[in-house]
Amino acid sequence: MHSLSRYGFGDRWTFALLTSTDPVFAHSPHLAVWSIHGPFDPAAWTPICDAIRRFSTPANTPIIIAADWNSVPDPLLDSLTGTPTRIPWCFPAAAIAPSETVDLFRLLRPDDVSWTYARTVTRADGTSHTSARRLDSIWGSPALLPLVYSTTVLSTSSDHRAVGVSFLLTGCNTDPSQSSPPLESHLYASRRPWSLHPGLWDNPNFLPALEAFARCYNPPVDPSILSPSTSWNLFHISLLAFLQPLARSIGQEQLAARHDLVTAQRDLDQLNIREPDAARRLPSLLLRWRSALGATQSSENLRPGGHTTAAALRAGSWLFSTFASAASRSFPPLRVTGGFARTSSAKLAALSDFYSSLFSARPAPSLPDSSLLLRSIQLRLDEPATRALNTPFSLEEVFHALRSANRHSSAGPDGITYRVYLATFSAAGPRLQDLANFLGSSPIWPVSARTILLPKAGDPSDIANYRPITITNACVRVISRLVSSRLLRFGSQLLPWTQAAFLPGRRSALVAGVIHGLSDLLLLPPSPLTPPAFFIISLDQRKAYDRVLRTWLFAVLRTVNFPPLLLGVLKALYSQPSTRISALGSMGPVIDLLCGVLQGDPSSCFLYNLSLQPLFDLLLTLGIGVDIPHLGLLSALAFADDCLLFVEASSRGLTQLATLFSCLGSYSAAAGAALNLGKSSFWLLGTPSATNRPFADQISSALSAYGLAHAGSAGPSSHLGHPLPSADASSPHPHTLLFSRLSSIKVRGACFRTMGVDVLSRVTNTNKYLGARLWHTIAVGPLPYSFASLYFDAVNSYIQGASSVLLSQSFLTRPISHGGLNLIDPDAMASALSVSFLRRYLLEPDQIGGWLRAGLTTYLAYRHGVPPAVLLIRTGKAFGRLRHWSTRNDGFLGRLTHALAHVDLGIHESPQYPWAGVPSSNLTPWALQRVGLLR
């Protein structure tokens, strides 16, 4: 029971002393709380100072002070421009000194720049000035530090952002004879796992210290009598024991140097070079000042996201806040049985319960379901590939796995990153090699991980709308990268072209490109290449990666002739994995990962694709799909767990529907999958004949009865970020997604810093950050005539800002070597993306290459009345029509033709192919590799 035992208030302060019958904070029955709104007059701080002295509290009473100070302790850390506030910090510091409190947020997140107040002032001349400061903070007694649960900074409806600190209560005992148990130190450590601060790499002493450790490492036991697993564990423990004190020592040096910047600069400025000892003191002062300046600049460069978009963003913008660490990002109230979880502890418990249930063991698949699917597998590794994959791992492979890894990748539970193992490679490399080869014998190897949650589209209060990313220790991921790099070399032997994800040369644009091409052929006059009308079924699986049954996964791997070495390594990695939810600045309880492949693990994507392929093979075996000239029977297209299935809108398709549903059920039972029917949909592409219209209606009704949502007459607007053609022939290309992306660029551009950023840097930021998602969007599909103008309108507000001098589009896009600013030309990028697609698929000897060549030939013949040879002649009215912008907007085949018309094949300059000697059969661009087509 709590009571208000004492209180007081003034113009800018409020005090309350809370008393409880049971100790809550730091085993004290009292808690003192202050709320202060800092005045702008130094004299007005005197009443606050007197009040803090007057309202003294009992001994060992924890104190919390929440304040808008209107002052900052350190202008370098707490001000965007580095300028002090009107009220020096000495006045607030003197007022709260008797409380002996500390800044909780600053101590626990020392390098986290979080502005709580930001304002942009526009001057009369049109220029603007942005200032931002951390005016708000929460101070508390040092005894409260071990109880801090999370620290957050949240946006509000005012011009200030709210600072929040959550505490872990030690508990209230109803039995007075029992005292509250002390908070164990290991609990605090487990809730705040140690991790290596990235700023340590900027210290010149850090890397040499790691290299020296690797040279001098001497295991306490003779390695020859140890197993590779035990030898690695000894090295890992020794590395941690060396790394943690080293990180603390260097971190304290950097912190002291950063705080010494003002003093060092003052001492350097005050040095009188006429004094006799000035020459002796000057080098040490310069070294001190440079060290302080380097530490300060290093801290300022460590913004969220490292060297990503966040480095160029305004710190007070909404987009900057999205780069907060996933482990400390706030969650709204989460829906649970009986209501909502609102407190941090309740949210973490709800998240842990949800994923503990998701990762729990499920019944093994039934033999009939799994055997039918396994028998239908069509692609397997041949004997030479199996032998090559089964050779022992080499030290060069380990080095390449470390060297090619993302150096900014998050650390696992042990806090060690890839860069540490690369720096200590002389000791770590051979031990990792021995460990990887040892795991090939399938020993039980416990793997610990931490799971962060990324929000997906949908209701944020629904826990199912978060994607779990499981991050294992870097050493585990190195071994997984060894497996993954080998699999990618022979991936085409196991996965057909219809699976477009995570293999070299394959891309998400292929899925949308095939649908665009089929739609274009349906809109042309009937030809031998015209496909029949068909339904597209878009399947969404609930937590697809996390539900894969291990028994099913390893059954598939054995069936495709997986080599024993890689199979053994994977069995060891999945023998005893566990994780903990890392959210809200805390860690949840240990969760055993009894099913699923680990999202975030380098080999997980390929493994999931292999576990999914038997479903598509079964559909092909049973003849379910649409017969497409040159492509053959098209049953499915997939990019990871985004699957599209195809059913002909005819009596044949209607008779196959029950078998299709049965195949989905068999796969779900065998693999542990679960369809998310609420997010799955279907739509009709093409117009069925009068004979097939009744069957198409029955198929539509049956799909709706199964639980799939009808996507409407026009179908969905996008798939995997690429636009899809409209199923409504009256409005074939509305460009909805394109306009949405352009609007987003304009909104995001307002979040980037412009103060002190020159035009050339703004152009660089535009190329790197603003346009990236747009280029993905326009990789396939037609483009409107005004695309370039729309793009320049979207980026001009950021590039040129309030400048009265407008820069021409030709000047912006001209290369720097020619006097321009090197902005990516949107039309040139569109042509380059089309050429890239053609280069990848046009000359392929498989089904997709033959279909694309036939499709372009059909488009040229039926839309423009010309043969493909016009692309070689490159003159005349017909060729001029192909180069016109309207061709680029005439479907995807039109866009590819437009790109080919703008690619100079150089045939008239090639002595190897004079016009007189070129047979008519070779007058097609895809037969002219030797003349440099699409190099």
Domain range for 820 is 736-824
Non-local (6+) Cβ contacts of 674 within 8 A are 541, 542, 543, 547, 668
What 3-state class would DSSP assign to 17? strand
| 775 and 894 co-located in one domain | no
Are 737 and 723 spatial neighbours (Cβ–Cβ below 8 Å)?
yes
| 682 and 633 co-located in one domain | yes
| 785 and 926 co-located in one domain | no
Q: What is the predicted pLDDT for the residue at 496? A: 93
- Regarding predicted confidence, which is higher, 154 or 157? 154
Q: pLDDT band at 1, cuts 50/70/90?
A: low
Q: What is the predicted pLDDT for the residue at 729? A: 61
Per the structure, how many domains does the chain have?
5
Residue 919 to residues 874, 923, 927, Cα–Cα distance (Å): 17, 7, 11
Looking at 779, 803, 824, which one is the last position of a domain?
Answer: 824
| 902 and 854 co-located in one domain | yes
Q: What share of the chain is helix, strand, coil (3-state, %, to 5)?
A: 45, 15, 40
Residue 325 domain-assigned (yes or no):
no
Q: Tell me the Cα Rg of the chain.
A: 33
Query: How far is the C-alpha of 429 from the C-alpha of 431, rounded, in Å?
Result: 5
Residue 324 domain-assigned (yes or no):
no
Count, residues in the chain: 935
Residue identified by tokens 């899925």 is 511
> pLDDT tens digits, residue range 662-683?
999 999 999 989 998 888 999 9
Q: What is the predicted pLDDT for the residue at 915? A: 35
| 710 and 781 co-located in one domain | no
The dihedral sign for the CA sequence 497, 501, 505, 507: positive
> pLDDT tens digits, residue range 847-888?
899 999 999 999 999 999 998 888 888 888 888 999 999 999
Non-local (6+) Cβ contacts of 328 within 8 A are 150, 151, 152, 584, 585
> pLDDT tens digits, residue range 583-632?
887 888 889 998 989 877 889 999 999 999 999 999 999 999 999 999 99
850-878 burial, b if ≥16 CB within 10 A, otherwise e?
Answer: bbbbbbbbbbbbbbbebbbebbbebeeee
- Regarding predicted confidence, which is higher, 129 or 521? 521
| 38 and 148 co-located in one domain | yes
| 900 and 776 co-located in one domain | no
Residue 317 domain-assigned (yes or no):
no
Q: What is the predicted pLDDT for the residue at 305? A: 43
| 440 and 296 co-located in one domain | no
Query: How far is the C-alpha of 237 from the C-alpha of 143, rounded, in Å?
Result: 31
548 has a pLDDT exceeding 60: yes
Residue identified by tokens 């950050």 is 769
| 691 and 740 co-located in one domain | no
| 710 and 639 co-located in one domain | yes
Within a 10 A sphere around the Cβ of 370, how many other Cβ atoms? 23
| 148 and 203 co-located in one domain | no
The dihedral sign for the CA sequence 266, 268, 274, 278: positive
